[in-house]
Amino acid sequence: MARIPLLLAAWAALASLFAADPAAAQDKPPLTVGAIYVGSVNDYGYNRAMKDGLEEMKKNIPGLKLIEAENVPETAESERIMEGMIQQGAKLIFATSFGHQQFAFNLAKAHPDVVFEHAGGWMQAPNFGNFFGATQTAWYAMGVAAGKMTKSNTLGFVVGVPIGYAIGNVNAFEMGARSVNPKAETRVVVTGGWADKAKEAAAANALIDQAADVVTMHVDSPATIIQIAESRGAYSIGFQSIEARALAPKGWITGLGFTWGPFMTATANAVIAGTFKPAMVRLGLGQGMMAVAPFGPAVPADVQALVTAAADKIGKGFTPFTGPVADNTGVVRIKDGETWYGDKMGNFDWYVEGVIGKAK
Amino acid sequence: MNAALIAGVIASSILSGTSLLYATLGELVGERAGIVNLGLEGIMLIGAATGFAVAALTGDPYVGLAAAALAGGAVNLIFAYLVVGCRANQLATGLCLMFFGLGLSALVGRPFVGALITGLPRMHLPGVGGAGARLLSYDMLVYLAAPAALFIWWLLFRTRWGLVVRAVGESPAVVYAAGRRPAFVQYQALALAGLLGGIGGAHLSLALTLTWAEGMTAGRGFIAIALVIFARWNPLWAIAGALLFGGAEALQLQLQAAGADVSPFVMNMIPYLLTFLVLILWGWNRQSAAPAALGRTHFGVE
């Protein structure tokens, strides 16, 4: 019986925490934005880049309120978390991982007054848009850097899941390397998942065992692979976030990063002004959606100039996927006169000449 | 097949198999005492997270390793209290422990994601250079793994304590009749099991990957449980099992790097196909080597 007053006191104390509503005293924010990440924002990779973009958006729009949730799995759980954000007043939701698409789309149908932006997919609705970077052509510039820096003429590429877009990245990388170094070859190891750190470590070791002296990757976080490369004296090229260079003080060449800030700011402003129109946005180096990371200390000035020139060329619309292009078994895949543009980037199921690996 | 490939596979399988071996030894000790711990995955994760967190805080990977072992032991003692003290169902409690470990490790590790630590240092054997250097420079946990298996073998089969543990696993009633307390022995065995499981997890974060990520053991705890059966509850065979599975995983990645003309999807299946094959072939000998009272709850008088 003595427990009851104790319980009541505890309940009262807990309730008082929620009773005071400091938000009521402040001005209403111009927009509340919700964002879900598939992993941790400290991954030096994909999620970090998303976080940096959102922070830039928040800085550009004073008073904007940002609700975030990390480690949101690509399951129905994500739907519940996004729903919670909508309950807190979010009118714009960024679903930042590929696997969140269906769940965000379901919510978009249930909440026509909330705008959803999904990264990397294709679905669209009046209040559902899609965005990503045009990565494939940008990797060409990374290939130029790798082709010039390699001494063993062997480059290593760790791929998480061999979807068409990832294979396209590898192809552009090899083509860029071949454009400055005709003997350059790329070896590919597939780990089977976007974020299996132990496998990534073993994959990086395997590539370096096979004489790769430049290692790069398409996985969620470049951290493990870059650290392994650094510990074994190999060069590394980063992906997803340009902040990854902090992990390889000696071996960092350069990297590709997503700069989502301008796009996110523009989207948020459109939502505030009521002028949002859904679209499938794929912007690249030239349009501010992606950036080449600063160069590491080992990169000589002439290589830097070559890479910057390649990046400029790509920004102005150059694509390496102009025929004739043969795959690594000799079959011509892109015919003479044909060009593969952005809409075909998911169709890669073959590797170009010079890539050692099997695509499927 | 070039020399680099072979050396790479051997080195990788030893590295990969080390954490598996420690976890298998831990589970083996527990199962010899009659307790199945399906939550080994959770213990490994707690070991990995705690080890990484403490190493990041103190800057000393050895302190992190010790903390990981202690954390694993402590959490396994909670499991022991539920299963031995409260006589809860071992399988269900084990699975709960797995989820608990998953969540607790995520909580502990969260502030440290992305932290850079000095991991366990690699020790080079003096006088060996070149190709040998890659094969023979590992961290101390790798060098201690096989000796640990030998020690556990000696502990279980050549000491009085080990005899009592095995007896509890065969028949707790007999041990009680002989004047011992089976429950106390099971607590001890599970504490040791937790220590070893925590070390197994810590090797992943402190030596192999030098990072922490939620759920980073990726099912290794369950593989270790299967390896205990494969090893027929004998620590010496556990060495072979850990090398086999670690080797299979390393092999498929090394083969990919060497340019094998096989689909990457098939390659990723290799470790599991190999284990399947071995278990089928091994299953010819149907003599059951499991401890007789494994998984059974002892309701006798304490």
Yes or no: say if B90 and B36 are a contact pair by the CB < 8 Å rule: yes
In this structure, the answer to whether residues A168 and A235 fall within a common structural domain is yes
Q: Pick the residue from chain A with its C-alpha nearest to B15.
A: A202
In this structure, the answer to whether residues A236 and A317 fall within a common structural domain is yes
Contact assignment for B209 to A247 by CB distance below 8 Å: no
Distance from CA of A223 to the nearest CA of B (A): 8
In this structure, the answer to whether residues A264 and A295 fall within a common structural domain is no
Q: CB contact, 8 Å: B27 with chain A? A: no
Structural domain includes residue A339: yes
Contact assignment for A224 to B216 by CB distance below 8 Å: no
Closest CB to B253 among A195, A206, A227: A206
Residue with tokens 């679209």: A279
Contact assignment for B264 to A190 by CB distance below 8 Å: yes
In this structure, the answer to whether residues A147 and A278 fall within a common structural domain is no
Structural domain includes residue A4: no
Distance from CA of B249 to the nearest CA of A (A): 8
Structural domain includes residue A11: no
Structural domain includes residue A44: yes
**Mean pLDDT split into 10-residue runs, chain B, 302 residues:** 77 90 97 95 97 95 96 97 93 96 94 85 70 71 94 96 95 92 95 97 92 87 89 93 87 87 84 77 67 79 52
Yes or no: say if A245 and A296 are a contact pair by the CB < 8 Å rule: yes
In this structure, the answer to whether residues A126 and A80 fall within a common structural domain is yes
Structural domain includes residue A211: yes
Summary mean pLDDT of chain A: 89
Contact assignment for A356 to B259 by CB distance below 8 Å: yes
Interface test with A, best of B12, B18, B20, B209 (most A CBs within 10 A): B209
Write the burial class of residue A11 (CB in 10 Å: 0-12 exposed, 13-18 middle, 19+ buried).
exposed
Q: Specify the pLDDT at position B134.
A: 61
User: Can you read off the two tokens belonging to residue A247?
Assistant: 């992990």
Q: Specify the pLDDT at position A136.
A: 84
Write the burial class of residue A275 (CB in 10 Å: 0-12 exposed, 13-18 middle, 19+ buried).
exposed
In this structure, the answer to whether residues A278 and A305 fall within a common structural domain is no
CA distances, B98 to each of B44, B76, B209, B222 (Å): 9, 11, 22, 10
In this structure, the answer to whether residues A265 and A170 fall within a common structural domain is no
In this structure, the answer to whether residues A231 and A336 fall within a common structural domain is yes
Per domain, the residue ranges of chain B are 13-115+139-282
Does the structure show a pLDDT above 60 at A19?
no
In this structure, the answer to whether residues A170 and A300 fall within a common structural domain is yes
What CATH number is associated with residue A324? 3.40.50.2300
Q: Tens digit of pLDDT for each residue in A22-69?
A: 444 456 788 999 999 988 888 888 999 999 999 999 999 999 999 999
Q: Tens digit of pLDDT for each residue in A223-259?
A: 889 988 998 889 999 998 888 888 888 999 999 989 9
Distance from CA of B125 to the nearest CA of A (A): 17
The range of the structural domain enclosing residue A215 comes to 135-257+291-356
Structural domain includes residue A21: no
Q: Specify the pLDDT at position B117.
A: 85
More confident of the two residues B288 and A111: A111
Contact assignment for A205 to B12 by CB distance below 8 Å: yes
The pTM of the full predicted model, rounded to 2 decimals, is 0.82
Q: Pick the residue from chain B with its C-alpha nearest to A224.
A: B209
Average pLDDT over residues A190-194: 88
In this structure, the answer to whether residues A128 and A40 fall within a common structural domain is yes
Contacts with A359 from chain B: Cβ below 8 Å: 264
Residue with tokens 């948020």: A268
Q: What is the ipTM of this complex?
A: 0.80
Interstrand relation of A290-292 and A332-334 (parallel, antiparallel or unpaired):
unpaired
Q: Specify the pLDDT at position A24.
A: 45
Q: Give dist(CA B107, CA B90) in Å, integer.
A: 25
Domain range B13-115+139-282, CATH class? mainly alpha
Q: Per the structure, how many domains does chain A have?
A: 2
Q: Specify the pLDDT at position A148.
A: 93
Q: Specify the pLDDT at position A281.
A: 87
Residue with tokens 């790069």: A216
Q: Specify the pLDDT at position A96.
A: 93
The fraction of chain A above a pLDDT of 70, given in percent, is 96
Does the structure show a pLDDT above 70 at A18?
no
